Amino acid sequence: MALAAPTETYPGKVFEVTIGTAKTAVFGGENVLPFHKFDGSVPNKPVIAYEIQDVAPEDWPDAVREVYGDAASDPVKWALFCQNELKAQAIALRLTGTHPDRQDRSAEDAAKTVKDVLDKIDVPLIILGSNHVEKDAAVLVAAANAASGRNCIIGKAQEANYKTIAAAAMAQNHKLVAMSELDINLSKQLGILITQMGFDKEKLITDPMCSALGYGIEYTYSVMERIRLAALAQNDAVMQPPMLADIGMYVWKVKESQAAEADLPKWGALKERGIAWEVVTAGALLLAGAELLIMRHPDAVSAVQKFVDEL
């Protein structure tokens, strides 16, 4: 008699989310723990989006900036480079220049940038604010309107500004990122508040906040793991949206990805070190349950895609 391997089944399931129009990307939909295809259904691989910005990334390390060269001085050229040269599954446009401490660009400027990018690309677009809660409330409303009909992701909605951002995303039929600060209870509370407005819970993406390897990643991992277990084992619908790991912005600002080899020779080659930091951070958070990643370095993206394929 053949041995039947035991399986772990769950009553819950992660919502499947589709973004884009001309070309689409699909993530989520699994009813098992990350990559546990032997236990159940994992219909979609995680999606990796390349990050671009509306302004030149002067605060990015040379190891990343040199990949994009002059293209990074123009968001349209940058987006086309990611789509055509790097074969991006999706692009994440961060409207960094709208932050009051940066260039304080207006909501109208942001809307024009979004429209210009969308006019040239056909892969799905994720539209992110500058993480200034007051400014994002205006900027992301304008961006959502400019992207009408393109089935984008808008974010990030936080407790201080979710009402206006969620209303704009709902009006234009976009998906929405709901970000809370590394606490499963805060994540659940924000999800409840947004869905009470009438926003479809199956169009939400949860961002429990991210961290880089060595900078609290075990806490991020724990929160993400608890969210995913609540979705599956407890069949908690508020916890069932797929999760975002916004990796690049956290990895490429830490000392390990920026410290010069001359100062810390024992740490190894700077470029390879930074790429490895992004790869390991991404791999860990995929295992914690992330279905959507935002990354920066193409070599790191390639390594993570290989990691996903092997799993």
For every one of its 311 residues, what pLDDT tens digit does the chain have, with 9 covering 90 and above? 788 888 899 999 999 999 999 999 999 999 999 999 999 999 999 999 999 999 999 999 999 999 999 999 999 999 999 999 999 999 999 999 999 999 999 999 999 999 999 999 999 999 999 999 999 999 999 999 999 999 999 999 999 999 999 999 999 999 999 999 999 999 999 999 999 999 999 999 999 999 999 999 999 999 999 999 999 999 999 999 999 999 999 999 999 999 999 999 999 999 999 999 999 999 999 999 999 999 999 999 999 999 999 99
- Answer positive or negative: Cα dihedral of 147, 151, 156, 158: positive
Find tokens 């999606």 and name the residue.
47
Q: What is the dihedral of CA 225, 229, 232, 236, to 10 degrees?
A: -110
Count, in order, helices (H) and strands (E) of the chain. Answer: 10, 10
Take residue 198 and report the two structure tokens written for it.
């009438």
Residues 6+ apart with CB under 8 A from 305: 48
**Strands annotated E in 1-135:** 16-19, 25-28, 47-53, 90-94, 125-128
| C-alpha distances out from residue 89 to 50, 123, 149, 151, 225, Å | 8, 7, 19, 15, 25
Q: To 5 degrees, how large is the angle CA 182–CA 154–CA 187?
A: 25
Catalogue all structural domains in the chain, each as residue range(s) with its CATH number: 16-310 (3.20.20.20)
Asked if 278 contacts 296 with a C-beta cutoff of 8 angstroms, the reply is yes
